[in-house]
Amino acid sequence: MFIGGAIISFLFLFGYMWKEAHSNRIRHVTLSFPHFPDNGPPLTIFFISDIHRRSVSCRMLETVKGKADLVVIGGDLAEKGVPAARVRENVRRLQTVAPVYFVWGNNDDEVDYDLQSLLEEERVYVLKNKAEVWEHGGVPIALIGVGDVSRKEADIARALEHVPPESFRILACHNPAIIARLEDEQHISLVLSGHTHGGQIRLFSFGLYEKGGLKWHGNTALFTSNGYGTTGVPLRLGAPAETHLIKIVPGKLATEKKCLSKTGKTM
């Protein structure tokens, strides 16, 4: 009887962890900054990181169409064994939401095909130590992408070379460890990162990494995602899969408002 109960408990836990790893959560987050232009609309980013082996849910993306100005892939779009066809399809699905920007993760180089060429063919903006700048409310917005920290490929100074000094600056980097390399005079307002999976499997409040979320380092907001996919085992506990619809607005520093929406299984 005891053994039967243990088996049932294990199967229940396994099923729950599988569900958490394959869920399609969209966390809606509003961040305010005092120096974000107040004479224009909010800037909304659909942020997805650490896709790894998953296929991005079409049903999930339907709920964010028309709501985002751009899509940022925070690295680990792929890993060893992920076919090019799946990567291409994921990118095309994301492009139905908004223009797609990509920064490299530590696993993206593991594929046995030219990922850079594939992304260029699909008209994805690959940001490796470079920036894209556009006008928003009469003020330049700079999306700055750097290479992966763990591979010693991040060059912030090079990425900032052509960024206007008066711009509102968003830095995308796969690894949140980039925060330790930032300097006050670089005026980075927001950092988007992933990599940690929020620990992926947490026992109570303990995990190999911190759970994803928002932390402030001086006047820089560091936003780290738990990620959409998994690494190692396709299971999660205490750090469910997630994507983010991030709205940036003018206002007082350190304001975060968030809510959660879910969709069905991956389509």
Q: In this predicted structure, what is the pLDDT of residue 265? A: 47
Q: In this predicted structure, what is the pLDDT of residue 40? A: 81
What would the two tokens of residue 220 be?
């820089």
Residue 1 confidence class, pLDDT cut points 50, 70, 90: low
- Tens of pLDDT, residue by residue over 206-253, are 888 899 999 999 889 999 999 999 999 999 999 999 999 999 999 876
Mean pLDDT of the chain: 92
Is a pLDDT exceeding 90 seen at residue 151? Answer: no
Amino acid at 129: N
Report how far apart the first and last C-alpha atoms of the chain are (Å, whole number): 40
- Tens of pLDDT, residue by residue over 119-137, are 999 999 999 999 999 998 8
Q: In this predicted structure, what is the pLDDT of residue 259? A: 63
- Tens of pLDDT, residue by residue over 21-38, are 999 999 999 999 988 988
Amino acid at 80: K
CATH number of 22-257: 3.60.21.10
- Beta strands per DSSP E along the chain: 24-33, 43-48, 70-73, 100-102, 125-126, 130-136, 139-145, 168-172, 188-193, 213-217, 220-224, 243-250, 255-263
Which of these, 105, 57, 102, lies nearest to 79 by C-alpha position?
A: 105
Distance set, CA 79 to CA 17, 126, 170, 241 (Å): 21, 17, 26, 17
Distance set, CA 122 to CA 20, 31, 140, 239 (Å): 30, 30, 26, 31
Is a pLDDT exceeding 90 seen at residue 4? Answer: no
- Are 35 and 168 contacting, i.e. CB atoms less than 8 angstroms apart? yes
Q: In this predicted structure, what is the pLDDT of residue 196? A: 96
Higher-confidence residue: 45 or 138? 45
Q: In this predicted structure, what is the pLDDT of residue 89? A: 98
The Cα–Cα gap between 264 and 267 comes to 8
Q: Is the four-CA dihedral 59, 241, 30, 138 of positive or negative sign?
A: negative
Q: Which residues of 157-167 are buried (b: 16+ CB within 10 A; e: fewer)?
A: eebbeebeeeb
Following DSSP, what letter does each residue of 105-155 receive, concatenated? Answer: -TTGGGSSS-HHHHHHHTT-EE-SSEEEEEEETTEEEEEEE---TTTT---
- Tens of pLDDT, residue by residue over 185-215, are 999 999 999 999 999 999 888 888 899 999 9
- Are 194 and 213 contacting, i.e. CB atoms less than 8 angstroms apart? no
Q: In this predicted structure, what is the pLDDT of residue 82? A: 98
Distance set, CA 245 to CA 46, 52, 143, 156 (Å): 5, 20, 16, 25
Q: In this predicted structure, what is the pLDDT of residue 57? A: 97
Amino acid at 134: W
Annotated domain spans of the chain: 22-257
Q: In this predicted structure, what is the pLDDT of residue 208? A: 86
Is a pLDDT exceeding 90 seen at residue 3? Answer: no
Residue 10 confidence class, pLDDT cut points 50, 70, 90: low
- Tens of pLDDT, residue by residue over 62-98, are 999 999 999 999 999 999 999 999 999 999 999 999 9
With 0-12 / 13-18 / 19 or more C-beta atoms within 10 angstroms meaning exposed / middle / buried, residue 80 is exposed
Residues 6+ apart with CB under 8 A from 123: 95
- Are 188 and 8 contacting, i.e. CB atoms less than 8 angstroms apart? no
Percent of the chain scored above 90 by pLDDT?
Answer: 79
Cα 218 off chain centre by: 22
Q: In this predicted structure, what is the pLDDT of residue 266? A: 43
